[in-house]
Structure formats: structure tokens, C-alpha cells
Amino acid sequence: MALYPSDIFATQLQLLLTVSLILSGCGSEQQRPSTVAVAPIPVDALVVDFPSGEFDSTIVETLAGDLATVNPLVNETMAGSAVIGRILEGLITLDPHTGDVIPNLAKSWEISADNLQYTFHLRRGIHWSDGQPFTADDVLFTWGCFFAKQLDVDSGKVVLDENGRVKYRYRSRSTFGQLINGQEPLVEKLDDYTVRFTTPEVYAPFLLFGGGEEILPQHVLQVSFDDGTLMDQWSVETAINEPWKIVGLNMYVLESYRPGERIVFAKNPNYWKVNTEGQRLPYVARVITKIVQDQNSSNVAFAQGLTDFESIGPDNVAWVKRGEERFDYTVLDMGPSSQTNFIWFNLNPGKDADGIAYVEPYKFEWFSDKRFRQAVSHGINREGIVRGVYFNRANILHGYVSPKRKLWHNDAIRKYAYSPETSRELFAQMGFTFEDGQLKDPLGNSIEFSLMTNSSSGLRVEMATVFKENMAALGINVELQFLDFNTIINKTSDSFDYEACMLGLGGGAPDPYAGKDILMSGGRLHQWYPQQVEPATKWEAQIDALMLEIGRHTDVEVRKKYFFEVQEILAEQQPLIFLVSPKDFVGYRNRWQNVDPAPLGGVTWNEESLWAKPNP
């Protein structure tokens, strides 16, 4: 299977493969354990209702992009999410066919009548991959990591920042994501297998997003939590030199990692799912993940019979399908995807350590004017992208929500048809003039900017090239920068040394709050200007207020009304200039059994039940 880092921004419950690693006390010098304690099958083991198969298969797959960390508190890349998603598990997950919340590590739960308390009942008898028991203490520890506060060494009081807000010791995406209107939920241990969360106000998506948080092992990470090195744990160096120190609850453990080459996962001997005969799953004994530079390389490997599961690029579908009979594989059209692609401009008004503005002031003035963003949007030939880049295997995308998410998709938002004439009218309103084939602002500055995108995505490289040509027709010069994904993430979330960027989002969970970290002004993934102390604009403040209302209401129609307003504001302001949403194609080798394609899980959502007939 190929997993693509281009979809990093998405906030989602991972319906991916799993990896668990064996980890003892952090920071200590250890050799690989010669044996791992194998616990009895849990009392509350989940019985998976697929036909029984044969054990000891091997999956070979690819991963586009390399690791930067295996620490979920630090990770910002899809490659990291793919690996972490194989290591850790949440209390709940999503039904891959319906999108409904279903039990996972928690076997059941109750929600109080006032919708403020969520009581989770954990499965009894589950053990971490190193043989240690999983209990409510691990859940409390995980949430303690999110909200551990900095304390003054002398007074012991909570340290506040210059804006009077709490400073957290280990601020992560989950710290922001799990705050409810700036307040923390209360987490209580009722007994070893029961945890109760109390939210400060009604928060409709808590079951999905609170229950979906991946649980961390207290027995492994408590020492680093106490000594302040928590964010340094589970690094690339750990994955290379001591992979057994990364412990999880999912179906695999990390066996080895060679940067730029491959990641090898082995079966977790303590996995908590069983087949109908009571045998511990998964059937797969090992997963070999080859690291590749781009989707084309990955698709070629699959078409040549070198890998087992694959996400097929829309531009590669035709030639890959031609090999189905010869190489004994199947390519499935899964219909519209929930993936989105878009462009944004850097609207961060800050300065670097030397006092130099992130964006030149005269360019910042362009970018901050919605007419400029609207003019650029009207100047993009999206139909040309669909035809020329995706070979008609994509849909024009007008707004934040893909049409696949029918319940939450607002089709009545403002749309930006390809109209260079409208673009010129908007530029004229700003006082821009067209001289000698070059668009200029009222001060005589030529309109030009750089646009970066990830070099590992051939489709984005082609879209960026089309965008450059479209802008040239308006008298705008665009300098294209094709960079590795981790460099882009550093620029957009740390150094802010860029002018414009083209990336995308995966679908995420089917709920408006999946995009809280993107849509709200304080979010780490609020791409155009992340982690604002206060909303920089009135329209961002409006979105913040609407998102809070979406969280406060449990009535779907009320939530839908507010979310439609959010989409209308985004369409008017164009902080994200949307392009296209590709159709989804997946492939698998026919020797694999129990394949059950699902709209939200592809063909590997039930990987614990997949097994392969021996190669002929």
C-alpha cells in the first residue's frame, strides 16, 4: 500500500495498518529483549467475523516520504502518522462502511443525559506489545501529557504566558484539539477498566475525537514525562537503533528502520483481536514497507508485481489496469475521494529573529486583500487541471468539503469559474495595471511570488505548472519551488519563510470538528497564519465563533447550519483556494483473502483478517 505525506493536514482517526514496538524505561541503555512476555488472550478480546485463514503471510508495500519522528506529540507528517497509526490505538474507531463510531480499546460507553459525561469501559486483559497490562492509568497518563502545565520552580504556581494563558509543558496538536472553548475536560479513573470524562460544556464531537485519541504507555513514558524529555522520545534515532523501545497496542511492532530505504514491522504477539476460532490475529507475520520518493515509483512497483496493496494515482490508472490479468491483481474504482487540493498565501504578519518580516510588506498587502485571492482563484483553469493532469479522474473542488461528504457539503457557496476577465477586473479595483505584459501594483511593483509544493507528488508538480501558466496569462510571474515534504512543513509551521504553498488534506473523520485545528485561528494547522493568539481578522473571529457553536450542539441540522456558514465565509474570503478532488483508485494482489472494500477504509481496513495464499 502506498501512503502519501501530501495529506498531512488532515485531522483524522487512523483506519490504517498498525505497528507496536517493545519499549522499556526511556533513556536507559538496553539491548533488544531476547523474549517478549506473551499474555493470555484477553477476556474481552474482540472476535473478528471473517473466515479463518492461514498464518505467516508477508505484506510488501511502499511509503512515499520518510520519517521525522515516531512521537505522536511531535509528528507533523503523514509518513509519521502512517507508522504511529500502526503502533497506537484509540478507545474508539470508525466503521469503515458507515462512518459510525464503534468500540475499539473501549468495549462500550455511556453518555450522561446532559451530554457532559462520557464513561468508557475498557476491554479487560489487553496487554501492551511488551507484555505489560493496559489499564485506565494509561488513558489518564495520555491526557495528562496533553495538559501538563508549566510550574514556577519557586512558587509552584502555574506559569502563564504574556496573554495570561496557561503554558503547557508538552504542547501538541492534541493540547489545542482537546481544549473545549479554552477549557480542559476532566478525566477520572473510576477503576482499572473504567474512565470518565467530564466536559466543561456540551461538546458534540467528544466521543469521536476524545475517544479517538491514541493511548500512550505510562510504564514506558512516565520517566521522560517527569524529567521533561517527553517530546524527545520515540525519535528517528530510537526507530533506527532501539525500535523495541516503541510500545503499542496495535497489530504490529517495529522491527527495523533504515532511513530512506525501508521500515519492517513484525506481528505484535499480544494483539487483542481474535478470529472466530479464538486464534490471535493478525495472520500477517511481517510487513515490509519500502520508502519511495513519489507515487509514480510506488505505482510502478505495484504494476510489476513487487507490492501487495496500492493507492493508484488517477494519472496512472489506465496503464496499471492493463497489467491486471498478467500480474494477477485487481484495480478498484472507489468513487470520489475526500481528498482536497488547494493553494494558500502566507498571511502571517510576524517577523523573524532578525526583525525581518516573513513576507515583504508590499506583497503582504496584496495577499491580505481578499480581492487579490479572489482574482487568483478566478484565474485558475480547474477544468484544464481535471482534463490535462487527472485525465478526467477528478472533480472540480469549490470549497472546503469534498462532495463525497454529502451531509456536510454546502453546494450553495460562492464558486470561482475560470474567468481571466473577472480576475483583471478585481486587480483593477486594487489599482493594479497591466504594462508590457506584466501586472503591477500602484507602487510599480511587478506582481510575482514563489509557490512551493511537495516534489514527491507528481500530480501536484503538474498542477503547480498549470497554475504558473494560468498566472502568466494574467501578467503574474510565479516561481515554482519543488521541495521535500518535511522542508515544507518546517517552512509553514516554524520558519514561515515562504510566500505561497500548494498542498492538500485527506478526508479526515466525517465531522466538521475534524478540521478544528485547520479552521480555528488558534490551530497549529491554520495554514495561512497558524496559532494566532487572537483572531487576526473579523472573518476569522466569525469562523471561531461558529465552530464553537458547532461543538455545543448535538442536533445535526443545527450543526449543519453553522458549518454551512463556515463554508460560505471561506468561499468568500478564499484563504484556501481550492482546486480539485481526485477520484479514489486502489489495487490489491488477488492472492489476498478476506478483502472487503469499504468507502472509508479502502481494502486494508481489516488487515488483521487478511491472509495470502502462497505464491505459485
The pLDDT, as a whole number, for residue 9 is 31
pTM over 0.75: yes
Strands of 317-435 (E only): list them: 329-336, 340-345, 394-396, 433-435
Q: What are phi and psi of 130, to 5 degrees?
A: -90, 5
Is residue 302 domain-shared with residue 388, that is, in the same domain?
A: no
Residues 6+ apart with CB under 8 A from 614: 591
Domain containing 96: what range? 2-328+590-612
Is residue 127 domain-shared with residue 208, that is, in the same domain? yes
Statement to judge: residues 306 and 350 lie in one domain: no
pLDDT at 196: 98
The CATH number of residue 112's host domain is: 3.40.190.10
Residue 366 and residue 270 share a domain: no
Rounded to the nearest angstrom, the gap between the alpha carbon of residue 94 and the centroid of all alpha carbons in its chain is 15
Residue 288 and residue 391 in one domain: no
In a domain, 517, yes or no: yes
Q: Residue 82: which residues within 8 A CB-CB, separation 6 or more?
A: 3, 16, 17, 63
- Is position 334 within any domain? no
Q: What is the pLDDT of residue 20?
A: 29
Each residue's pLDDT tens digit, 102-140: 999 999 999 999 999 999 999 999 999 999 999 999 999
Which residue carries 497549529 as its cell?
524
Pair 467, 500 in one domain: yes
DSSP string for 269-329: TT--EE-TTSPBSPSEEEEEEEEESSHHHHHHHHHTT--SEEEEPTTTHHHHHTTHHHHTE
Q: Assess whether 174 and 265 both reside in one domain.
A: yes
Distance CA 84, CA 80 (A): 6
Q: HSE on the CB side for 371, CA within 13 Å?
A: 12
Structural domains counted in the chain: 2
Pair 270, 41: CB distance under 8 Å:
no
DSSP summary character for residue 7: G
Distance CA 292, CA 579 (A): 26
pLDDT digits (tens, 9 = 90+) for 298-321: 999 999 999 999 999 999 999 999
CA atoms 63, 64, 70, 72: torsion sign:
negative
Q: Is residue 335 part of a domain?
A: no
Residue 415's CATH number: 3.10.105.10
Per-residue model confidence (pLDDT) at position 486:
84
Low-confidence ranges of the chain (pLDDT < 50): 1-30
Question: Is residue 147 in a domain?
Answer: yes
Query: What is the distance between the terminal CA atoms of the chain, rounded to a whole angstrom?
Result: 22
